[in-house]
Amino acid sequence: MFGKVKRLVMASLGAVTLAGCAVIPGGTDAPVYNEPVANTPPPAPSAPDADLLPADTERHRVALLVPLSGSNSEVGQSIANASTMALLDTGADNLRITTYDTGSGAAEAARRAVADGNRLILGPLVRDNVDPVLAEARGANVPLITFSNDVSVAQDGVFVMGHVPDQSVARTAAFAIAQGARTFAVLAPRGDYGDRALNALEQAVTALGGRVVGIERYDRNNTSILSSADRLRAAGGYDTVLIADGARLAAMAAPRLKNTGDALPSIIGTELWSREDALTRTGALRGAWFAAVPDARYRQFAQSYASRFGDQPYRIATLGYDAVLLTLRLSRDWQPGRALPAGLLTDAGGFLGLDGAIRFMPDGVGQRALEVRQIGNGAFTVVDPAPTGF
């Protein structure tokens, strides 16, 4: 299964004129915690162009639901551009992907997508849009592959494709234990992301025979995290510390936890550290570990994206590319115009995309094969490669 899709991923990246992809009209990174994003008031609905989606008996109609207006429009456009690239790079002639703008109303975008005969929805981007989209899609038996990383939205008919922080924490903790770690402490922000990181660490460490012996929570500001780090260092009694936050705050807290050159405590982080080169300039973080999706194919993707669209993609844009690769894989056992057969999305073998191997579990959560990286002096090093399959 992986061989064919891998060939699709590595297909030539020359410029081509797009066919089979339409857009229904309606920086900063995507929201780190996938918090609700306010939509602008929806405009008066207009009737779709009768010629936009001609009758088609040989191509699958697939809807891409992303924000093309509003505060997340740049992220949504980056995902849409990446899906276009995937169509071009694979030469897919059996897919018709139509983009609908959730920025002017997720429910209306979903209603139009269903009315237009789409049998699969790629999106939406943020968790607060999942329920209104599902309300329109469920009656038509149209599944969703959301780009959110919030596992709480996974359910019958909703599959979570985003990079799940819990899996990054669990993977890194398991690696640390394999290196000899036994007692862990946690420095985590108050709120949903911190809760999820803490729970993931406790579950992973306990299952592998370790212990979590210290927990400090903080508000996401400079003073609070420094005070929490000082309290954690004073308490002691651990050999490894998880800093469950982004690069800026992690770089501030690390020198409060250990001196540059000290072997212990080991410091581990989360997927938020991926591609954050500033971490390599913080002495106290040298030797720290974190897990993320493989990055090797992203570099080629980013170069091709920039040459086509004149700008760098958002890191999350690979989800749009990989969603098209997944759809192509599904199309081998899916007849155009029919509902997606039950069980295809939860194939235990999964599939391979730019972000490595992924498979959807029966509960709808996408399980990813992650690599573990180590922070060095000016560079990241992969110390435990991601598996290439399941």
Per-residue pLDDT of 74-88, as tens digits, reads: 999 999 999 999 999
Do 107 and 6 belong to one domain? Answer: yes
Please state, in angstroms and rounded to a whole number, the distance separating the CA atoms of residues 314 and 162. 13
Q: Does any domain span residue 373?
A: no
DSSP strands (E only) in 67-182: 95-101, 120-122, 144-146, 158-160
Do 207 and 150 belong to one domain? Answer: no
For residue 243, which phi and psi values (nearest 5 degrees)? -100, 105
CB 56 within 8 A of CB 96: yes
Q: Does any domain span residue 376?
A: no
Do 207 and 344 belong to one domain? Answer: no
Q: Does any domain span residue 270?
A: yes
Query: What is the pLDDT, as a whole number, of residue 10?
Result: 42
Tens of pLDDT, residue by residue, the chain (390 residues): 444 444 444 443 333 333 344 444 333 233 333 333 334 444 444 444 444 445 567 899 999 999 999 999 999 999 999 999 999 999 999 999 999 999 999 999 999 999 999 999 999 999 999 999 999 999 999 999 999 999 999 999 999 999 999 999 999 999 999 999 999 999 999 999 999 999 999 999 999 999 999 999 999 877 899 999 999 999 999 999 999 999 999 999 999 999 999 999 999 999 999 989 999 999 999 999 999 999 989 999 999 999 999 999 999 999 999 999 999 999 999 999 899 998 999 999 899 999 999 999 999 999 999 999 999 999 999 999 999 888
Question: Which residue among 267, 292, 317 closes a domain?
Answer: 292
Query: What is the pLDDT, as a whole number, of residue 56?
Result: 63
Query: What is the pLDDT, as a whole number, of residue 15?
Result: 32
Local structure of residue 315 (DSSP, 8 states): G
Closest C-alpha among 63, 67, 144 to residue 102: 67
Q: Does any domain span residue 241?
A: yes
Measured on CA atoms in the order 151, 156, 158, 160, is the torsion positive or negative? positive
Containing domain of residue 261, as a range? 165-292
Do 274 and 308 belong to one domain? Answer: no
For residue 356, which phi and psi values (nearest 5 degrees)? 90, -165
Do 43 and 174 belong to one domain? Answer: no
Domain with residue 215: its CATH number is: 3.40.50.2300
Token pair 């018709």 is at which residue?
Answer: 96
Q: Does any domain span residue 378?
A: no
Q: Does any domain span residue 100?
A: yes
CB 12 within 8 A of CB 299: no
Structural Rg of the chain based on CA atoms:
22
For residue 180, which phi and psi values (nearest 5 degrees)? 115, 0
Do 146 and 15 belong to one domain? Answer: yes
Q: Environment class of residue 360 by beta-carbon count within 10 Å: exposed (0-12), middle (13-18) or buried (19+)? A: buried
Pairing status of strand 95-101 against strand 158-160:
unpaired
Please state, in angstroms and rounded to a whole number, the distance separating the CA atoms of residues 225 and 218. 6
The three-point CA angle 68-114-94 to 5° equals: 85
Spatial neighbors of 341 by CB under 8 A, at least 6 apart, are 333, 334
Do 211 and 119 belong to one domain? Answer: no
Question: Which residue among 292, 320, 335 closes a domain?
Answer: 292
Do 30 and 93 belong to one domain? Answer: yes
Spatial neighbors of 27 by CB under 8 A, at least 6 apart, are 74, 75, 314
Please state, in angstroms and rounded to a whole number, the distance separating the CA atoms of residues 153 and 98. 24
Question: Which residue among 292, 321, 338 closes a domain?
Answer: 292
Per-residue pLDDT of 33-84, as tens digits, reads 333 333 444 444 444 444 444 556 789 999 999 999 999 999 999 999 999 9
Do 179 and 191 belong to one domain? Answer: yes
Closest C-alpha among 76, 59, 92 to residue 24: 76
Do 233 and 306 belong to one domain? Answer: no
Please state, in angstroms and rounded to a whole number, the distance separating the CA atoms of residues 289 and 69. 37
- The one-letter code for the residue type at 299 is R
Q: Does any domain span residue 302?
A: yes
Report the number of distinct structural domains present in the chain.
2
Measured on CA atoms in the order 270, 271, 276, 281, is the torsion positive or negative? positive
Which whole-number Å values give the CA distances from 308 to 158, 192, 276, 318, in the listed order?
Answer: 32, 37, 25, 15
Do 254 and 227 belong to one domain? Answer: yes
Do 239 and 151 belong to one domain? Answer: no
Please state, in angstroms and rounded to a whole number, the distance separating the CA atoms of residues 197 and 289. 15
Q: Does any domain span residue 305?
A: yes
Query: What is the pLDDT, as a whole number, of residue 275?
Result: 87
- The one-letter code for the residue type at 179 is Q
Query: What is the pLDDT, as a whole number, of residue 265?
Result: 97
